[in-house]
Structure 1
Amino acid sequence: MVLDGLAYSATPGDRAAVRRMDPAWVDARLRRDDSTVVPMWRDRPLLTAAGDPVTLTGPAARVVLGAAVQTVLLSVDGDSASFAADLGGVGEAEALLLAGASSSVDVRALATVVPGPVLATLAYARGLLYWNRNARFCGTCGAPTETAHAGHLRLCPACGRQLFPRIEPAVIVLVEGPASDPEPRCLLARHQGAGPDGFALLAGFVEVGESLEGAVRREVAEEAGVTLGAVTYQGSQGWPFPAGLMIGFIAWAVGDTVAVDGAELVEARWFTRSEVVERIVNGRGSGPPDSIGGHLLRSWTGLDRAASGR
């Protein structure tokens, strides 16, 4: 199983990890008329009347930069650069006026609308601006922090602590039935709050001191009462909603007994490959089109390969 084309994972350009440490270099990029600015309002990209994400250059970009509560460097292409600007300090109507935009939208609503690199850039901007907004105070001493490295670092002037953008890793797993099964089956579960037919793959956050494979085994055992044999990595996906990293696996159960915990899960059961195909074809269970979970399911059924001609 190979996972290709995962959303949010193809950010283009050079992130300039060394050069962004130089404030003079960053300021020079901000002053260039060919540098671009992506305006955001409270984690939402702004759209033109035609529904395209707004990007600004020259005087229009400088208007937005002057009103932004935070500016972050996204990437560099030659001598020019791309920045994101947070207009969350004003109301939505004013933000739209400043950027010459018509509306704002959740990034995920654009997943099937804009090209992959554009989508990845918007998600990157969202995640970085969100982190800056939520790291304004030092977790050690409580003092206000200051932005540095073009928005990729925050410093506490009181105690000297350095704060880097936080990533919260989570595992998601397609559990296949035991080798003794007469036909391939996978485990799908209904989580608390899901609808009566809202079955999905199992997932959970990685805990302190835990390997990724260990997190897979623990989550499946805790929530579904299923013991796993082999656990195999399949791919990963940036998921800045707000700060996730999704790591996908396929695993094989050593038995087919299921005992849900009743807390995270209310139901879990085995589905044959043909049953999963039927659910996907009828729009009842492939997962969100932008998620690695959907890719895992479609790859397991072979639908992704059929769609791509492989």
Structure 2
Amino acid sequence: MTLMYCGLELDRAADRRGDRAWLESVRTTARVLPLWRDKCLVGATRGEPDFEVFLGMDGDTAVFAADLSTMELAETGAGEAVDVRRLFGTISAEEAAVLAYARGILHWNRNQRFCGACGGATESREGGHLRVCRECSKLLFPRIEPAVIMLVESSVERKVLLGRGPKGGFCTLAGFVEIGESLEDAVRREAFEEAGVVVGEVRYQASQAWPFPAGLMVGFRATAVTDEFTVDGAELAEAKWFTPDELRAHQPVFSKNGDSIEGYLVREWLATA
């Protein structure tokens, strides 16, 4: 199955982004996706966008994303501004991939207007996929923030460990990858930090683009060395081992997040339970 926000079918045409004349020529017949403060605008729009970004080619048609964030919503002429995640279940995975891509790259451009090295203003290049400082010429490229999400399995019997924060229900363990560690190292560290559980074997399952604003979720199954765990109340309020039947009966919070890789990891595990 294709996870939401993945499987982009656009041709990113990265080799053409630096050709301004070409971008201008395809812009005349392009399809433009308007966004406002990280939300999709529904209905007719008007007004001059703050900037546009080239997303890619859909056959012979160029696709651009336009940012209208500095306008008031009423000024855009749109009937509604909708978060991409709210559209889950009403649009296809491919449509969601395009909208999430647009949201992520616009967000990056909007938040990189000034250079982190000298403070100078930056300008857009490569169709919005590169920014260059006007003062020191530093190059700024879009960056992602990888995070691991793991389903921790018992080595003793068929069950998985889920945790619950101060608010909300039970869910899989997860956390950001830190500088200087591998994905597998991050799985082991986060499992121990969050639930005090020692993990041995780590097995990759799938990954998911998560541009909210710049994430990449990397999913794993991990085997606990023992069933012992410790919750200190800082990372988690509670942790618990769930058997397959308990997992199905309790319907934890992940069942509400159908667009997330979290639900995929749990469903795949239950399918083989």
TM-score interval (norm. to shorter): over 0.9
- Partner of 1:159: helix, strand, or coil? coil
Instruction: Name which of 250, 253, 265 aligns with 2:236.
Output: 265
Aligned pairs for 1:255-294 (under 5 A) are 255-280=226-251, 285-294=254-263
**Offset at residue 284 of structure 1 (A):** 5.1
1:84 corresponds in structure 2 to: 65
Task: Please give the secondary structure, in 1, of the residue aligned with 2:202.
Answer: strand
The residue that corresponds to 2:35 in the other structure is 40
Q: Do the aligned residues in 1 keep the contact of 2:130 with 2:139 (CA within 8 Å)? A: yes
Tell me the distance in 2 between the aligned counterparts of 1:219 and 1:284. 20
Tell me the residue number matched to 2:135: 158
CA distance in 2 between partners of 1:284 and 1:145 (Å) = 42
Aligned counterparts, 1:170-209, within 5 A: 170-178=147-155, 180-181=156-157, 184-192=158-166, 194-195=167-168, 198-209=169-180
Deviations 1:61-104 (A, max 9, x none): xx65xx11110011113442000000112100111x1xxx3211
Give the 3 Å change call, closer, same or farther, for CA 125–284 of structure 1 in structure 2. closer
Unaligned runs of 5+ in 2: none
1:139 to 1:284, Cα distance in 2 relative to 1, 3 A: closer
**1: CA distance between counterparts of 2:95 and 2:50?**
23
Deviation of 1:10 (Å): 2.0
When residues 254 and 47 of structure 1 are mapped into structure 2, their CA distance, relative to the original with a 3 A threshold, is same
Aligned residue pairs: how many? 273
User: C-alpha deviations, 1:233-280, integer Å up to 9, x for none?
Assistant: 000000011110000000110101110232111111111111001123
- In 1, distance between residues paired with 2:265 and 2:232? 24
TM-score, with structure 2 as normaliser? 0.95
Which range is displaced more, 270-279 or 72-81?
72-81
Cα deviation code 1:188-230 (max 9, x no counterpart)? 00123x23xx110000000001100000000001111111111
Match of 2:2 among 1, 5, 8: 5
1:230, 1:252 within 8 Å by CA — same for their partners in 2? Answer: yes
- 1:146 is aligned to 123
- Structure 2 partner of 1:123: 100
Which consecutive residues of structure 1, in runs of 5 or more, have no partner in the other structure? 49-53, 55-59, 306-310
Aligned counterpart in structure 2 of residue 30 of structure 1, from 6, 27, 30? 27
2:255 counterpart SS class: coil
Identity, in percent, stands at: 52
Inter-partner Cα distance in structure 1 for 2:246 and 2:127:
50
Out of 63, 87, 96, the position equivalent to 1:110 is: 87
Matched, 1:241 2:212: yes
Between the aligned partners of 1:228 and 1:287, the Cα distance in structure 2 is: 27
What value does the CA root-mean-square deviation take over the aligned residues? 1.7
Counterpart Cα distance in 2 of 1:297 and 1:236? 14
Q: Check whether the contact 1:11–1:121 (CA below 8 A) recurs between aligned residues.
A: yes
1:168 to 132, 135, 145: 145
Moved over 6 A (4+): none
Residue 5 (structure 1) shift? 2.1
Alignment of 1:297 onto 2:257: no
SS of the residue 1:85 aligns to = strand
Measured in 1, the distance between the counterparts of 2:150 and 2:58 equals 37
**Deviations 1:102-133 (CA, angstroms, capped at 9, x unpaired):** 21101100011111111111100000000000
CA contact (8 A) 1:200 1:285 kept: yes
